[in-house]
Structure formats: structure tokens, C-alpha cells
Chains A and B, each alone.
Chain A
């Protein structure tokens, strides 16, 4: 699948396109097989998101999994500070990125 990601302009938070808006959780990301450019142009123009891009991902049992390790780390948080990641309670969360 193709998903859209970016950063919240004001806070810098990593965000994912949900079809209606933006979420901090990669599992909320929706497949955008086409029309991504138009969505990006429209959302950029609203001045609420920055550094938008389309990336590859797959839908797994555990949810949406970005194809590249860099995007998986973006989705999770720093693997060396899981307490600050999106899965602070899961000590094995780091293995998800590999």
C-alpha cells in the first residue's frame, strides 16, 4: 500500500494521513493508491503539515508496516528510548522496526 506521512508544522510530530485528517498512529494510515499528490498539495496549502511524502507500506496482522526501516523508526519513536515511543509499555517494541 501507499501511505502519506509528514510532520505537524507547529509541533513537529510525525503524522499519518487517515483519509480525513492526520493521526499520530501509523495504524490509522490509509492506503492512497492514487491521488496522493493532490492530497499533499491541498494539505500543504493549509499550513498545518510539512515535509509530506508518500511511502510504501504493507498491511500486516499487527497493522500498517512501513517498508523502510527509517519509516518504521519514525512510526515508533527512538528504539533506544522506548519510554518515549508510541509503545512505552512494550519492552519488545524495538524488534518491530527490524
Chain B
């Protein structure tokens, strides 16, 4: 293994560049002293240090999960840097006071990725929080959000400015001991985004966080918390990329959503972490993510939309706890795997309240020698009178060596629960592509037509600004596999 990002010729990953930025790290491996150091360097309040230490103790007593259809050698946690941030003329404060303090190379990195952060070039209708390795770089459109009473800032800033909110909600949806990776994240998380929407407020902008792993030795452990108060509404999108490296990078994030009565949260992800070498499987991000939303209030709604197109390994089950009566949970997913990628992803819909409804639309596209698994759980508690679920899982195989599996688990404690499940598997062949070309479509358009057709129900759920981008991403990836 080498330290420097290496160039792979077989497949073009256009976000594969690395930026030469001097990084400040605490060295590899993890112990209690390092956790104290992370916490101290960030000037964290005592409750947060306690939270971390407790999580660390829990994590040390846990084993990594083995039930997923994923194959990878044991992760060497002693070789990972758990904290990395671009070096700055250090006065010890955790975030950059203004864009002027951010290293030029870092700003250029985001610009290259299509996320300009400065006032002139930034996206006009999307507020962006940019996270580089472990640290939030800048959050745009602060004034407009402030006027609406919306809080959208880096987690670090939230810890300092709104400690009471953090203390109240952190770990309230994903308990520390929930699973191995959530426990690890709880111990070492560095930055991420915090959102609070006050009662009866419709967030005036799309909110977006852009995660970039730059340090090729570092893991990324971000933490996102979104609290949507009574009758409020927000749409949030995260995007992710990482440089090409021959080593595996660990990404273990936790996302918690809380929806009060009549609140509506839409959470979208376009994940394009580096997927590793398509031939050898060398390198690529290990993406072990815990995402969960709690529909605490009546008539609240949480909708997850994800386009998972990168990572060597994806282990991710964005879920909804449908506590409030008449609450609604939705999961719309496209998982595209190619090369040697492995994805085990799906959702959990936990029906606790009465007349709760959930809807699951999962599309898996597996190409080359990749493996794609849908794993979903629909649970209906005894009190959840009138609960309803609809699930549709469609798999598309490209070529002969890819594999797709579907594991829809149902655990209903009521006989009157209405649970519907549909599943299909189809195959994309060169003959299909030729057929479309013989009707006048270029190869690119032919692939795009197939992807768009297959994923339509999911892509339609993405905010407009990102739907075209996601379609392009999927088309590009798939073209490499069928072309």
C-alpha cells in the first residue's frame, strides 16, 4: 500500500484528485486520551466529552456486525486517523471565522467539485455547508436563514452557540449503543451539520451539506442532526466525494432526524465516494452509516431519498420510527454498484402509532462483478392499528457476473396490518443498448434512457437542482460498465 493517491486508468472517477493541504492530525489509532484531546481541541462542554467517553467504552465492548452480505477483511482501527483538519494559524477556535481564513486550496477544491462557496458564485437557492475531512469550512446564505429563524450551521458551531439543543437531541434517535459504527461515531465524530427549523416555518432554501474526504489516511465521522419543530418543513441534501487512494477510507456517519407534530423532513443523499479500483477492488471508501428519523408527532412525515453510486462498501439503512399517529415514512433508493463494489442497503419502517403509513421504493442496479443487496424491515407494533406499508424492490443486472439479492423482512404484531410487497429482477444487455441505438439514440442517451426509466420513481423525489446531476452520475457510471 502506498500513501499517495494513485491514478487508476481503468475507470474515470473525476473527483479522484487530492488537494495538497497541510493537515493537523492526532496520529493513528484510538484511545481515551485521544478522545479527550479531540474534545479539548474543540473546546467542547463537559456533557459532550462525557457522551464521547461513554460511547467509546460501549464501542470497545462491541463486535462489528456480520449479518450483512458484505465481504471485507477486518478493519485495522489502529491505522486510522480519527481526526484531521486543514492546518490553520491556530488560535484553538474550532471553526473558521470567515472564508478569508480558509486555506485557498480548500476553497479551490470545492470550486472544482462544483460547489463554489464565495458570495459571488455560490448556488443561489441552496444553502451549503461544506465539510472538508473533519471540519466544516463554510456555511453559505447565513443571513437569509437567520431572518427566517432557521439554524443551519456546522455541528461544531452548534455545540458552542446552541449547546442546550445539542444536549437535548444528540443521541435521542440513534442511541450510542445502537450499533458498532454508531458507537464509534459517537466517540469520535468531529463535524457535520445541525439544522433547527422553528415552529410553522417553511425553510426558505434547500439546505445542503457537501462532504469531502481529502486526507487519504483519515476516516470521516460526521454527525448530522436535524430537528424540525411543529408544522415546520425542510428539504436537506448531502453530497459526498473522496480522492482515489489505494487504501480503504472509513466513513462512519450518524444522521438523526426529529419531526414534531405536522413537521415534514425530506432528506436526500447523492453519494459518490470513491469506489475503489474496478478490477482489483483496491482502495475505496467503506461507508458504514446509521441514519434514522423519528416521526415523533402526529401527522409528521420523514422522507429519505438516496442515490448511492459510490463507495467500495455501503452499509446503510435510513429508517423511520413512526411514533406519531398518522405519521408517514418514505424511503426512495437507487443503489448503483459496478466494478467490485458491494452495497447492502435498505430501510427499516417501525410502525408504532395508529394509521401510520410507509412506502419503500428501492432500485438496485448491479454491474460488472459487484453485489447489491436490498435489506428492509417493516415492523408493526401491537398498538399500530391501521398501519400500512407498500414496498417495491426492483433489481437490474448488467452483465453476467453481478449479483442482486432482496431480503424484505416483515414483523407484524397485528393481523390487520396491510403490507404489500412487489419485487422484480431484470437484465440490461448489449442487445438492449443496440436496440435503442438502432432507433437513433446515441449510446449515452441509450444508457440514460434505461437508467432514467428504471429509476424514475426515485429520481422524481430528488430536489430539482440535484435530479439532473444524479441522472448524469448514474449514466456515466453505467456507461463504463456496458460500453
Mutual binders A and B:
no
Q: Which residues of B contact A (CB under 8 A)?
A: none
Interface set of A (CB-CB < 8 Å, partner B): none
